[in-house]
Structure 1
Amino acid sequence: MKKVIIVLAVVVLGYFVNSKFVELAYSLGFAELKKEAILINSEKMKVKCHSYALGWFDEIKLENKFQACINEHEANGYKIIESASS
């Protein structure tokens, strides 16, 4: 019983420390960016453009690369069927 209480206390303490660390990191500008788009052409072939970054990054540069991927495939006849970002 004593071991169960110790394990439970360690888990709760770990969760608390992690949540405070994440909160501090985001307040200092640490961020996560995830974007994904799925495109399809008339032959039902699918391609995926994605952009992912974790930490301190140049959001404009990542957005430009992501949009360039989409533009390149749209020029080849693909259409966006699904897009997600967070």
Structure 2
Amino acid sequence: DAGFEQVIARPHLFYLDRTNPAERDKMLTYWLDLMRSAFHETAAAGYTSLECWQEAEHDMRELRKRDDAVFYYTFFQATGRTPVQKRP
């Protein structure tokens, strides 16, 4: 319990398929760039290797070429209020 009130958590999702190939490609490109930006730190921490990264990059590039590719991503966003402090 972090002390918040009126907490609301909502799921948000992205579903992109062949009906909107430009947006799907844009999102896949964004995620590839995001993965690329984290590579050095994650490799230095021992979470990945150059070989693993190269495979992932190859797979993402191949995925962008496929007409039947689907991008699906869900995240949750929560909002809340801190309680109002009463003055003495």
Task: Identify whether the pair has TM-score above 0.5, normalized to the shorter chain.
Answer: no
Structure ranking higher in helix proportion: 1
TM-score relative to the length of structure 2: 0.28
TM-score relative to the length of structure 1: 0.28
Larger relative contact order (Cα-Cα within 8 Å, sequence gap ≥ 6): 2
Structure ranking higher in strand proportion: 1
Query: Which one has the largest radius of gyration?
Result: 1
